[in-house]
Amino acid sequence: MTERHINDLIAEGILKVETSESPEDAVHRRRKDFWMTLAAIVLAVGFTIGLGVFAGKFLWRGQGTAEERMWAASVMTSIATGAIGFAFGKNI
């Protein structure tokens, strides 16, 4: 028995793919998904930058107690680890 690709089956009319979603609903769903994803990315990046700036205040300006500087160093290490993991596609 030979294997047939799904696109061949659709082209020959053997397989028919239908959706219950109207074209208008599909456009709306895609638009909503785009804006929700964009908002999530902007919030995540903004939060990370804000946290980095806040932690950097303790590290580079020498403000705060030793415990606060240790906390800030942990935060900066986490941010750097996440950025490197994202850049190189690794889950750390």
Q: What is the pLDDT of residues 8-31, one digit of tens each?
A: 887 887 777 778 888 899 999 999
Would you state the pLDDT for residue 46? 93
Query: How does residue 1 score in pLDDT terms, banded at 50, 70 and 90?
Result: very low
Q: How far is CA 7 from CA 16, 20, 40, in A?
A: 10, 21, 35
Backbone angles phi, psi at 47, to 5 degrees: -65, -45
42: number of Cβ within 10 Å: 10
Q: What is the pLDDT of residue 2?
A: 58
Q: What is the largest CA-CA distance in the chain?
A: 74
Whether pTM > 0.85 for this model: the answer is: no
